[in-house]
Amino acid sequence: MAIQPIIGSINHIESLIKGNGTFVYLGEKWFDEYWIDYDKIDKKDDGGKPIKTSGGKIKKITDLKSYLEYRREPIDKINDLKIGSKK
């Protein structure tokens, strides 16, 4: 069984409880598509070439802003919650 990485946590749980999550203005369609495509789409530079890590691997899109830009969707639809790892 593969172990899934922890991709972050929410520090403002009240917003989620009230139905005010990151995808509230994007909707379920974008939520589903983002998570289906998560870590599968290559990041590319302005010239269209894949961006590589220092280890030579191709970087993948793993953030909502980059994903929406890739899909040519306005990023202002992201509901800006304070998301980050707990320390």
Q: How far is CA 11 from CA 15, 34, 72, in A?
A: 9, 21, 29
pLDDT at 2: 52
CB 45 within 8 A of CB 51: yes
Task: Using the Cα atoms of residue 76, residue 77, residue 83 and residue 84 in order, give the sign of their dihedral.
Answer: negative
CB 8 within 8 A of CB 85: yes
| 15-59 residue pLDDT tens | 778 888 889 999 999 999 999 999 999 999 999 999 999 999 999
* Confidence (pTM): 0.74
pLDDT at 21: 86
